[in-house]
Amino acid sequence: MVSSVFAKEKQDGMPGPLHRPVCRQLRAHHAVMAAVHMRDLFAADPARFERFSLQVGELLLDYSKNRITDETMSLLVRLAEEADVAGWRERMFGGDKINNTENRAVLHVALRNRSNHPVRVDGEDVMPKVNAVIERMGAFAERVRSGEWRGYTGERITDIVNIGIGGSDLGPQMVVQALKPYRHPRLKVHFISNIDGAHVKETLESLNPETTLFIVSSKTFTTQETMTNAHYARAWFLAQSQAEKHIARHFVAVSTNREAVAAFGIDPANMFEFWDWVGGRYSLWSAIGLSIVLAVGAERFVELLEGAHAMDEHFRHAPLDRNMPVILALLGVWYNNFFGAESHAILPYDHYLRSLPAYLEQADMESNGKSVDRDGNVVDYPTGAIVWGATGINGQHAFYQLLHQGTKIIPADFIVSVEPHTNLQAHHDILIANFLAQTEALMRGRTREETQAQTGQFVSHKVFDGNHPSNAILLQKLTPHALGMLIALYEHKIFVEGVIWNLNSYDQWGVELGKQLASRILPELHADAPVGGHDASTNALINYYRRMSHPRTGL
């Protein structure tokens, strides 16, 4: 168990990351702030919005509805300074191998480096190969989009199926959905990730092999779920096309593993490469974004990269106290480590951003869900929050009850587009009014006196304490550029939190054990004799499954 207030003094004299000099002051300050209501802070300072809001390009961040004062922010910024956020930031942008357990650089920023300044890994400027792959993706996508690239019977491609999981699925899936208003009218993009056969089967049911193009997306090209689904899709395709030579027109690969791609039967000429310095959950900017390029075109994809680059430039050069990702990260640390908040809600008020929570779950929790610091020491402070969420307006009629009147403190990000993609202005106004009402209600609450004045009965049930923190992030419009900025904003927030917690945010050893055990269990599911090599529960469940299941195979 780790302490919920990141603050205990270390006994051995070595200052840990959260035992830095400023932490004592932050602890004392937290003791004061715990009793302060935001309602009073707003009443005392009519300029609070101006003080605690920041515009970067087409993104506005209002962080005034947080339990902070100027003193809070200056102490938190000192924490960032003491943690050497600026130094780590330079190490990342400079291509240092900050992913120490895998001995890799962390350079998703190079993938969208639209200024094209050299970025070196082991002395080699990676920009020429980054640019070459972007070119190839664009040229390939153009052939498919224009109809020049035909299937084996001469038909145009109508359906793209991305087969991948985790970062090879969630990022492109979220972006393709977010940019639906920009999509190519002929091309439908599907995503298959789940190893539950229902996913691949249901998806392929409605498709015609003659007009379907598969993208097998896997950094390693060894992931069991992806490879099983890819082999199934290949068999499904061959069942109709009857000739392996046709595979070249219907299967392309995105990977770092050329040999495995060739072994699968995909012509390496149809492989789009990326590199080990791109983490899976940070890879949508790489060739993993091929489905995005096919859906919205190379020009829009470049706008997405440009948006991310604009946020990279802001993150790299803005002072820490006017730096959007840094501010979001410091607020995250403030609630996580001082207020004991365990989770963080992502609440998009934009239908097209409905997959953002799932995307950020992986981005954040696979990065900072760690209990060992970068040097291998067990931490004695909470690290990554539980990230969760759903479209806000639906959440209002589901889980917001707990946000307003539950016993937990759950900081929330409200993400909103000022201009909608539809012309249904009345709908949009209702959406916006609800977003505003929710953040106001969370902050203000409703006092006993106000409640009494409005309603006589069940007053205690109807009181809202308020003082629940939220950020509002307003996009002018959900364009590729704004989306690129938004995603990069969160990527850098995650990075800064990881630096403050002294984590390696770029490995993911926590996913390995389950993978290992699954490969051991797989052959046991249909073993002739009862299985006995596990704990009693796992043995019993395997044996129950052996008895009760009726294996079926086939397309």
For ligand F6P, the binding residues in 366-395 under the rule CB under 6 A are 366
Integer Cα distance of 497 and 502 in angstroms: 8
User: Based on CB atoms, which residue is closest to ligand F6P, 6 or 359?
Assistant: 359
> Which of positions 27-86 make contact with ligand F6P (CB under 6 A)?
none
Specify the residue for token string 């589901």.
398
By CB under 6 A, tell whether 280 contacts ligand F6P: yes
* Footprint (CB under 6 A) of ligand F6P, residues 163-182: 165-168
Closer to ligand F6P at the Cβ: 90 or 512? 512
Can you tell me the distance from the alpha carbon of 202 to that of 197, in angstroms, rounded to the nearest whole number? 8
**189 - beta bridge partners?**
160
- CA–CA gap between residue 278 and residue 97 (Å, rounded): 12
Angle between helices 298-317 and 480-500 (to 10 degrees): 40
366 in active site: yes
**Among 58, 366, 497, 524, the one annotated catalytic:** 366
* Angle at 13 (CA atoms; ends 7, 14), nearest 5 degrees: 80
In the complex with ligand F6P, the residue whose CB is nearer, 158 or 228, is 228
Smallest distance, ligand F6P to C-beta of residue 280, A: 3
Distance set, CA 521 to CA 193, 206, 422, 473, 515 (Å)? 21, 33, 50, 45, 10
Does 484 interact with ligand F6P (rule: CB under 6 A)?
Answer: no
Binding of residue 281 to ligand F6P (CB under 6 A) = yes
- Nearest-angstrom CA–CA distance, 467 and 213: 51
Closer of 162 and 439 to ligand F6P (Cβ): 162
Separation CA 278–CA 275 (nearest Å) = 6
Active site residue 188: no
Q: Which of 223, 229, 355, 368 binds ligand F6P (CB under 6 A)?
A: 223
What residues pair up with 251 in beta bridges, in sequence order? 214
Interior CA angle at 24 toward 19 and 27, to 5°?
110
Task: Looking at residues 302 to 321 of the shown chain, list those that interact with ligand F6P (rule: CB under 6 A).
Answer: none
Draw the binding track, 190-219, toward ligand F6P (x: CB under 6 A; -: no contact).
----------------------------xx
Site residues (CB under 6 A) for ligand F6P, limited to 146-165: 165
Residue in 205, 245, 317, 397 annotated catalytic: 397
CA distance 27 to 5: 8
Closest contact distance (angstroms) between CB of 332 and ligand F6P is 21
Q: What is the bridge-based pairing of β-strands 53-56 and 59-62?
A: antiparallel
**Rounded CA separation 154/463 (Å):** 67
Residue 226 within binding range of ligand F6P, rule CB under 6 A: yes
Number of residues in contact with ligand F6P, rule: CB under 6 A? 14
DSSP state of 526: T
Residue 294 contacts ligand F6P per CB under 6 A = no
Give the residue with the Cβ less far from ligand F6P, 280 or 411.
280
361 is catalytic: no
Q: Is the CB of 66 or the CB of 362 nearer to ligand F6P?
A: 362
Instruction: Give contact residues for ligand F6P (rule: CB under 6 A).
Output: 165-168, 218-220, 223, 226, 280-281, 366, 508, 511
Which residues are catalytic, by number? 366, 397, 515
